[in-house]
Amino acid sequence: MKEEIGVMYSEETLNKKIEEMAEQINRDYAGKTVHLICVLKGSIFFCCELAKRLTVPVTLDFMSASSYGNATKSSGKLKINKDLDEDINGLHCIIVEDIVDSGRTLSMVKKMLEGRNPASLKLCTLLDKPDRRETDVHVDYTGFEIPDKFVVGFGLDYAQKYRNLPYIGVLDFIEE
């Protein structure tokens, strides 16, 4: 099988959308400090680009969570691979995701973080696949709503490859 990638969103299109999202966050958090919670690994590219465009004061932390383990279907149990380094009590937090798919892991992460008493907690994703949603999760800031295609680039991977692509592409497998 040969892997072929077709461009879905160019680097220029991504940059424009991230700028728009940052402008909205700047308006919503005027006069406040926003604490970005980057969900590793895929969100790192998006989170950094978003943070660079924010004009409100920003603090940043990272977490890694999974409900899948080694399976392709969610186990329904949240596993924290890397927790936050800082206490979020009283902070205005935004969870930053690369893509919202089934919503299972993200809904569990949100519920867990709500228990830590942030002043506010919102969700921000570059990509949203509503056709794959299994759990109702409200996303406050969405870059692009996409169809049920396997996408890579800009942090998204296939077998740990393609994260470094500066665009979002659709991965197809072609028989040789």
What residues are labeled active site?
Answer: 101
Encoded tokens for 74: 């969610």
For helices 44-53 and 11-28, give the axis angle rounded to 10 degrees. 60
CA separation, residue 148 to residues 35, 79, 102, 151, 167 (Å): 31, 25, 11, 9, 18
The answer to whether the beta carbons of residues 52 and 18 sit under 8 Å apart is: no
The answer to whether the beta carbons of residues 27 and 38 sit under 8 Å apart is: no
CA separation, residue 29 to residues 32, 35, 58, 71 (Å): 5, 11, 10, 38
Sign of the alpha-carbon torsion through 74, 80, 82, 86: positive
DSSP state of 118: -
